[in-house]
Chains A and B, each alone.
Chain A
Amino acid sequence: MFQGLTFDPVELPPAAEALRREVREFLRGALAELPPEQRAESWTGFNPEFSRKIGAQGWIGMVWPKRYGGQERSSLERYVVLEECLAAGAPVSAHWVADRQSGPLLLRYGTEAQRTAILPRIARGECYFCIGMSEPDSGSDLASIRTKAVATDGGFIVNGTKVWTSHAHHCDYMILFCRTGEPGADRHGGVSQLLIDLQQPGIKVRPIINLAGDHHFNEVVFQDHFVPEGNVIGALGDGWRQLMNELAYERSGPERFLSSFVLVTELVRKIGPHPSEREAIVLGRLIAHLNTLRGLSLSVAGMLQAGRMPDVEAAVVKDVGTLCEQEVPEIARSLVPCEPDPASPDPFVVSLARVMSHAPSFSLRGGTREILRNLIARGLGLR
């Protein structure tokens, strides 16, 4: 029976607020020269130099144990670092996936050898991860994947194709989601997560250019690629359950409502100190949405910190959050008449063009809107 969704209150500890000032000060210096069109890329901006800088501050993997290069800080402190980076338009993409998903996955299910070899490098901002999930014939229906790892002497031979793999061409490792056995009745059995060293032979990375003309996506083809036994993450055949545990982290973070925030800031600048009644109402509505979304997202961060698994609540954050992110360019152009131009010298116009051309992806990446709503409906007891 439906018990209702829970969004517990959370109060940021004083340490987190002190850290916020430190992060803000750091970003002011580190991003001083970053042009607006790059800020508008939000967390898709890939910049190893910046990642190493932020790693040197101790702000990657900051909740992990010190012996793995972490700082043993709370996930609410980490939340503050993330939201400050996103609000400022910092190019965090290089380390984002490793910090959010791959590192925590290795910490939870990885072997000691995997952890000691990789986690400290992630924390230094030197080691980047991509996620191999979707395939040409498997998107939302993830259980239908066909990429297969077949056991061989000392490891596995992998064959298959992954698509929409962001930044695979820049990354060191991939967490590969692949079939290692028969599916079983619920279709969720027989899949595993393997740690793939992208420098090894038998892997071809081909660019897929997105509609904005950017090369973020790739197609990654595995052809008799050998994966050593020691690169299995967690238990063989337990990949589905392991993956489901990542999703609450992947779906509830501040990146699910702040992808367009740089444009909101430029919109406020454009409107200036004396808004018309209409401008004030439209802008105020957007800010009310953002404020509420932050409350929801923080609440999920607090529940994760408390050891809960709020996967349905996380889906709500992403569903409601991405709707708001996608509305931002529509609202911006309704208030400021202009033609969006990705080469414009005007920070507002260029941000508008960037955000507009990236907005369709907001409700696709990390689980489509329809899949999330199915998950929420299941939480309501309807499925």
Chain B
Amino acid sequence: MTAAENLLEAAAKRLFATHVTRALREQAENGVWPAALWSALEEAGLAQPALPETAGGAGGDLVDEATALIAFGRAAAPVPLPETMLAGWLLAAAGLPVPQGPLSLAPVRKEDRLTLVRRNGGWRLAGRMTRIPWAGAVTGLAGLAETAPGTYAVAWIDREAYQAAPGRNMAGEPRDTIDFADIVLPDNAVAMVALTADDLYRRGALMRATAMAGALAQVLDLTVRYAGERSQFGRPIGKFQAVQQQLAILAGQAAVASRAALGAYEILARGEDAGFAIAAAKARVGEAAGVAASIAHQVHGAIGFTHEHELHYSTRRLWSWRDEFGGESHWQAWIGRRAATLGADSLWPLLTGTLDG
């Protein structure tokens, strides 16, 4: 990690520590938009760290994006930060302007399909979109829609243009439903793009995996701290080997998660094909999330099972995020099919990124 990345990491940590309080999380789960937190993120250049300054970003790179996402996941911050970055990436890839403010995107599920057809000099948008993150709270959505089978365009869909039926995930983050039935977008809100629905899904998976790595680091911190504070039988429970062994497993899972997610980002940042690394990261981090949440709750005992204690802000996010943009079995199957197609003698080249050599 370079000195500049360390600075960014420290700045992001400080910002989240200042703004993300228990009260803020509670209000957000009750539908209050955390405006001050969001303004602070935009001012610090954390909303679009990897977009060039000409596109309204902070002019950093993908490693900055990963750093910001780790800090976001660690803080259990109730804002659509990954979604804003993902929408910015889509809009910029299509050459469309990236608006200020929180953004989201559609579709986010494999089953949902958005289409665009020419109508009266504009574009008619159609498709029922489910589980759209923060759709009611954002400035608008970046939609990735098919104009013909296999051909995609990005559409900017202003918040004014749709109704969002509210829903939530396990962590209380908005996951809304939108029925795009008869919306016509102006010509300048749509641009063709050399991306597919698979590309978007994969990028979303990487962002969730990275935020989960942050959440796992937080779960480890909380659990180690609690084990040092809580005394039973006359000593801190962290002095018992049975507890220490569980914490060591938890530390291993947190380490695995962060290296898997960052490793995939590093490959992407080098401009290489990160498809396999992203699939492996989402599958492995998702598995780590389940193991880690289980150990963290066990060590915390009953207090960690209360709403009063802060552990659940992290564990409910892990339980939600691991199934968004493809759960473990989705990505495991993808890897398994790819390995089988390539054949036994290409397994090692697949793992070492040397399939062509």
Q: In the bound complex, do residue A382 and residue B340 qualify as a contact, i.e. CB atoms below 8 Å apart?
A: no
Q: A370: CB under 8 A from chain B? A: yes
Name the distance in Å between B289's Cβ and chain A's nearest Cβ: 13
Q: In the bound complex, do residue A376 and residue B344 qualify as a contact, i.e. CB atoms below 8 Å apart?
A: no
Q: In the bound complex, do residue B336 and residue A284 qualify as a contact, i.e. CB atoms below 8 Å apart?
A: yes
Q: Which residue of B227, B256, B331 contacts A284 across the interface (Cβ within 8 Å)? A: B331
With contacts A20-B352, A376-B247 known, what are 8 further pairs, Cβ within 8 A? A273-B340, A279-B336, A280-B335, A282-B336, A288-B283, A313-B255, A377-B238, A377-B244
Q: In the bound complex, do residue A11 and residue B266 qualify as a contact, i.e. CB atoms below 8 Å apart?
A: yes
Q: In the bound complex, do residue B340 and residue A285 qualify as a contact, i.e. CB atoms below 8 Å apart?
A: no
Instruction: Kindly supply a per-residue 1/0 record for chain A positions 312-344, scoring 1 wherever the CB is within 8 Å of any chain B CB and 0 otherwise.
Output: 010010011000000000000000000000000
Q: A373: CB under 8 A from chain B? A: yes
| A281, A290, A293, A313, most chain B CB atoms within 10 A | A281
**With contacts defined as CB atoms under 8 Å apart, how many contacts are there between chain A and chain B in the complex?**
174
Interfacial chain A residues near B217, Cβ < 8 Å: 4
Name the distance in Å between A267's Cβ and chain B's nearest Cβ: 8
Q: Which residue of B259, B283, B334, B344 contacts A268 across the interface (Cβ within 8 Å)? A: B344
Q: A266: CB under 8 A from chain B? A: yes
Q: A146: CB under 8 A from chain B? A: no
Instruction: Kindly supply a per-residue 1/0 record for chain B positions 241-256, scoring 1 wherever the CB is within 8 Å of any chain A CB and 0 otherwise.
Output: 1001101110110111
Question: A41-49, A69-77, A234-242, A294-302: which one contacts chain B?
Answer: A294-302
Kindly list the 9 A-B residue pairs having the minimum CB-CB distance in the complex, ordered from nearest. A280-B336, A284-B336, A284-B332, A284-B335, A373-B248, A269-B344, A377-B244, A376-B248, A283-B336
CB closest residue in chain B, given A274: B340
Q: In the bound complex, do residue A287 and residue B336 qualify as a contact, i.e. CB atoms below 8 Å apart?
A: yes
Give A11 to B351 CA distance when docked, in angstroms.
14
Question: B93-101, B135-143, B171-179, B273-281: which one contacts chain A?
Answer: B273-281
Give A242 to B344 CA distance when docked, in angstroms.
42
Give A268 to B337 CA distance when docked, in angstroms.
10
Chain B residues with CB under 8 Å of chain A are 1, 217, 220-221, 224, 227-228, 238-239, 241, 244-245, 247-249, 251-252, 254-256, 258-260, 262-263, 266, 270, 276-277, 279-281, 283-284, 287, 328-329, 331-337, 339-341, 343-345, 347-348, 350-352, 354, 357
Q: Which residue of B259, B276, B331, B340 contacts A295 across the interface (Cβ within 8 Å)? A: B259
| B224, B276, B340, B343, most chain A CB atoms within 10 A | B340
- Given known A-B contacts A296-B259, A316-B252, A290 and B351 have beta carbons under 8 A apart: yes
Q: A176: CB under 8 A from chain B? A: no
Interfacial chain B residues near A83, Cβ < 8 Å: 352
Q: In the bound complex, do residue B340 and residue A268 qualify as a contact, i.e. CB atoms below 8 Å apart?
A: yes
Q: In the bound complex, do residue B281 and residue A292 qualify as a contact, i.e. CB atoms below 8 Å apart?
A: yes
Q: In the bound complex, do residue B259 and residue A374 qualify as a contact, i.e. CB atoms below 8 Å apart?
A: no
- Given known A-B contacts A288-B283, A291-B351, A382 and B244 have beta carbons under 8 A apart: yes
Q: In the bound complex, do residue A265 and residue B259 qualify as a contact, i.e. CB atoms below 8 Å apart?
A: no
- Given known A-B contacts A296-B259, A380-B248, A291 and B277 have beta carbons under 8 A apart: yes
Interfacial chain A residues near B259, Cβ < 8 Å: 7, 292, 295-296, 299
A189-245 CB contacts (< 8 Å) to partner B = none
Name the distance in Å between A296's Cβ and chain B's nearest Cβ: 5
User: Could you tell me the dominant secondary structure of chain B's interface residues?
Assistant: helix
Instruction: Kindly supply a per-residue 1/0 record for chain A positions 1-27, scoring 1 wherever the CB is within 8 Å of any chain B CB and 0 otherwise.
Output: 010110111010000010011000000
Q: A136: CB under 8 A from chain B? A: no
Give A37 to B262 CA distance when docked, in angstroms.
37
Some 5 contacts from A to B, beta carbons below 8 A apart, are A268-B339, A284-B335, A288-B335, A289-B284, A296-B256
Q: In the bound complex, do residue A294 and residue B255 qualify as a contact, i.e. CB atoms below 8 Å apart?
A: no
Q: In the bound complex, do residue A285 and residue B328 qualify as a contact, i.e. CB atoms below 8 Å apart?
A: yes
Give A88 to B224 CA distance when docked, in angstroms.
40
Give A282 to B337 CA distance when docked, in angstroms.
11
Q: In the bound complex, do residue A265 and residue B348 qualify as a contact, i.e. CB atoms below 8 Å apart?
A: yes
CB closest residue in chain B, given A279: B336
Q: In the bound complex, do residue A380 and residue B224 qualify as a contact, i.e. CB atoms below 8 Å apart?
A: yes
Q: In the bound complex, do residue A376 and residue B252 qualify as a contact, i.e. CB atoms below 8 Å apart?
A: yes
Q: In the bound complex, do residue A280 and residue B1 qualify as a contact, i.e. CB atoms below 8 Å apart?
A: no
Q: In the bound complex, do residue B256 and residue A287 qualify as a contact, i.e. CB atoms below 8 Å apart?
A: no
Q: In the bound complex, do residue A316 and residue B251 qualify as a contact, i.e. CB atoms below 8 Å apart?
A: yes
Name the distance in Å between B240's Cβ and chain A's nearest Cβ: 9
Interfacial chain B residues near A17, Cβ < 8 Å: 354, 357
Q: A275: CB under 8 A from chain B? A: yes
Q: In the bound complex, do residue A291 and residue B336 qualify as a contact, i.e. CB atoms below 8 Å apart?
A: no
- Given known A-B contacts A268-B344, A374-B244, A284 and B283 have beta carbons under 8 A apart: yes
Q: In the bound complex, do residue B332 and residue A288 qualify as a contact, i.e. CB atoms below 8 Å apart?
A: yes
Q: A360: CB under 8 A from chain B? A: no
Q: In the bound complex, do residue B348 and residue A87 qualify as a contact, i.e. CB atoms below 8 Å apart?
A: yes
Give A5 to B260 CA distance when docked, in angstroms.
14
Interfacial chain B residues near A284, Cβ < 8 Å: 279, 283, 331-337, 339
CB closest residue in chain A, given B263: A295
Give A299 to B260 CA distance when docked, in angstroms.
11
Q: A277: CB under 8 A from chain B? A: yes
Q: In the bound complex, do residue B262 and residue A9 qualify as a contact, i.e. CB atoms below 8 Å apart?
A: yes
Give A272 to B350 CA distance when docked, in angstroms.
16
Q: In the bound complex, do residue B238 and residue A382 qualify as a contact, i.e. CB atoms below 8 Å apart?
A: yes
Interfacial chain B residues near A275, Cβ < 8 Å: 336-337, 340
Interfacial chain A residues near B340, Cβ < 8 Å: 268, 271-275, 279-280, 283
Interfacial chain A residues near B276, Cβ < 8 Å: 291
